[in-house]
Amino acid sequence: MDMRYIYVDEVLCLNFAMDYALVILTSKVCGKAYRTSRALIASGFGALWALAVSLMPALSHPLISVISAAVMAVIAFGLRDTTARTLLVFLALSAAFAGLGSITGGSLSVFIPSFLCAYLIYSLVFRAFLQNKVTGSEYSFKVFRRGRSAAFTALADTGSTLRDPLRGLPVTICSLDAVRGLFDREEAAILSSFGAVEAVERLRGFSLIPYKSVGKEGFLPAFTPEKVTINGKSVRCVIAVDPDCSLAAISPVQEV
């Protein structure tokens, strides 16, 4: 007699880890911001769906699988930001992860090292490809804060992976002059005269963003604008202010 044993904890843990990694990788490939809470909910949905498929194999029909993946993508990135390209990348990576899961035999201890190796290869290959595609690109920003607005041009930095550690949003670094119109005289004076920690303590709505570059590391005062448009398209991102920035602004490569 053929006996099938399904270990619920293993199915849930493995698929949760795979789905969370899938969300992160999709966000990197597509330049999409994601919220940790959304990523966790999407991963939980994916893990429960995998368990349901294990218990009811009829649910593994390709069309149903595509629908479930689309639901996961919408949960992770929001309905407005789940473009056709995002969905296709998500589905392609889902298929790749399914293959990786079968190769590793469904073992979490084998999957995690395998994923880390795959992610390292992706980082090297995709970053090199990205540098060839968009080096020198510029973005036209318009930022709104408390009834004020500022417009500036940002250089697309293909090597920048700076993100808000809590929300996963991409961080654009601006010179104070580029965004001076967003602040009153007192706020601008605080940002120009004090360090990041002191500025955050004195300014409402600011937080600290840790960063590291060649020969330099520390914290930048940052805020989330009420609205940001890049090349006329509304996006979500964080603005960090660096009074020592030699350019008007530097932005991670974004899908616009």
In this structure, what token pair is assigned to residue 207? 């937080």
DSSP at 234: E
CA triplet 164, 166, 170: central angle to 5 degrees? Answer: 25
Q: Name the CATH topology of 138-252.
A: Cathepsin D, subunit A; domain 1 (2.40.70)
User: If pLDDT is split at 50, 70 and 90, which confidence band does 184 have?
Assistant: very high
Whether residue 30 contacts residue 85, with contact meaning beta carbons closer than 8 Å, is answered with yes
CB-based contacts of 7, cutoff 8 Å, min separation 6: none
> Stretch 112-139: mean pLDDT, rounded?
55
Residue whose entry in the numeric block shows the structure tokens 């919408």: 74
Instruction: Report the chain's C-alpha Rg in angstroms.
Output: 21
Amino acid identity at 200: V
Q: Which of 243, 197, 203 is nearest to 224 (CA)?
A: 203
Q: Is the pLDDT reported for residue 136 higher than 50? A: no
Phi-psi region of 83 (alpha: psi -120 to 50; beta: other; left: phi over 0): beta
User: If pLDDT is split at 50, 70 and 90, which confidence band does 34 have?
Assistant: low
Domain ranges of the chain: 8-134, 138-252
Indicate the pTM of the whole model. Answer: 0.49
pLDDT in tens, 66-96: 788 888 888 887 776 676 777 787 777 777 6
Q: How many residues does the chain have?
A: 256
- Compute CA distances 221 → 27, 147, 224, 253, whole Å: 24, 20, 11, 21
Q: Which of 164, 202, 194 is nearest to 176 (CA)?
A: 194
Report the percent of the chain where pLDDT is more than 90. Answer: 16
Q: Is the pLDDT reported for residue 1 higher than 50? A: no
pLDDT in tens, 145-183: 999 999 998 888 766 778 888 778 889 999 999 999 999
Whether residue 26 contacts residue 93, with contact meaning beta carbons closer than 8 Å, is answered with yes
Reduced to 3 states, what is the DSSP secondary structure of residue 193? helix
CA distance 8 to 82: 30
